[in-house]
Chain A
């Protein structure tokens, strides 16, 4: 049995409403998504390898607007491993939400998902996450900021000790 990793995996994904929140048709267009929000968040909470997710006292993160755009939402979470994240995203009821994403969210031209390794027990800030997304957009996938499709392994002790200012 492998020893617990000293690193966890953080992920940020953002989405922009397809029907703007200022549009009278907005509420109806996102009704199904809203109905799925609590059950899917609860599913994440009890999924193997789940560590933490960003939420307000409403129990979700949809009221947070880090991009100063009323229609851009964020989802920020931490997992014990790539496999744990992948299993939740694609091998659980969450897959059906992914399947329907275009019903609710606009296509974004730039990268909208970013993953990165961080020391176990660290909680990423939204600013950390935004920086990681920017890094991915500028430099493409790298050990410091990558995607599920092009993942990078847990850094070895030397590289992370050098990079990390929190320890």
Chain B
């Protein structure tokens, strides 16, 4: 989509983002997102430390604004009369919401550049650039850190939404959205090089490897010493 959004879309996106200013609503939204799964009103309310009805009010506002989606599911085993109502479960919508002022169309330029890299076969050059950029950013992060540099913090600041899975850091969010979906090999290869560069620049002993899964970023960070690209 080239150019800016038309008026109704822009208003809708502005409204949605504006809704996140409210601190309780923001806390509920963040909790649902960080869980990486469906969350019930009761669970979110407890996590945010608010009453259930207030949580429901905010969560439903977020659904109305298109930031969350809701489904109904029976949580327990019982079926039939007397089994109780299905629970309303909330989850982040896959679609992104963004507004910029003045209008910016980074998607258009990213798609064109990716298409050109792919067409000219410049994959390896892109990975080289990404690795260098990662190293520079990693060095900067290490230089500005008050203590030892925190890998999770650096990755979180870049939008990856890292979470621990044993001795591995997994990344819930792919920051490259539609460009990745259009050019998966190229963008995921770029991403691996970028994260590897970051880790090197930060001076950590961690290694990044490809571990694609449908619902998250393709890269995982093995904490600790170097490992093979894949563990069998």
Contacts and interface: CB of A to CB of B under 8 A. Distances in A.
B196 to A, nearest CB: 12
Interface stretch (A2-10, A87-95, A117-125, A136-144): A87-95
A107 interface: yes
Nearest to A18: B121
Interface of A: 87, 89-93, 95-96, 98-103, 106-107, 149
A15 to B, nearest CB: 12
B187 to A, nearest CB: 10
A123 B119 CA distance: 31
B212 A102 contact: no
B185 A87 contact: no
Contact of A107 (B121, B182, B184, B188): B121
B123 A95 contact: no
Nearest to B120: A107
B33 interface: no
A99 B210 contact: yes
Interface in B175-232: 182, 184-185, 188-189, 192, 210, 212-214, 218, 229-230
B112 interface: no
Contacts, number: 44
Interface string B120-151: 11011000000000000000000000000000
A102 B121 contact: yes
A149 B184 CA distance: 10
A91 B214 contact: yes
Contacts of A90: 184-185, 188, 212
A-B interface, 6 closest residue pairs, ranked by CB to CB distance from nearest: A107-B121, A99-B189, A98-B185, A102-B123, A90-B184, A96-B210
B229 A95 contact: no
28 contacts: A89-B184, A90-B184, A90-B185, A90-B188, A90-B212, A91-B213, A93-B212, A93-B230, A95-B184, A95-B188, A95-B212, A95-B218, A96-B230, A98-B184, A98-B188, A99-B185, A99-B188, A99-B189, A99-B192, A99-B210, A100-B189, A101-B123, A101-B185, A103-B124, A106-B121, A107-B119, A107-B120, A107-B121
Nearest to A99: B189
Given A102-B121, A102-B124, A107-B121, A95 B185 contact: yes
Contacts of B218: 95
Contacts of A93: 210, 212, 230
A96 B123 CA distance: 13
A86 B164 CA distance: 27
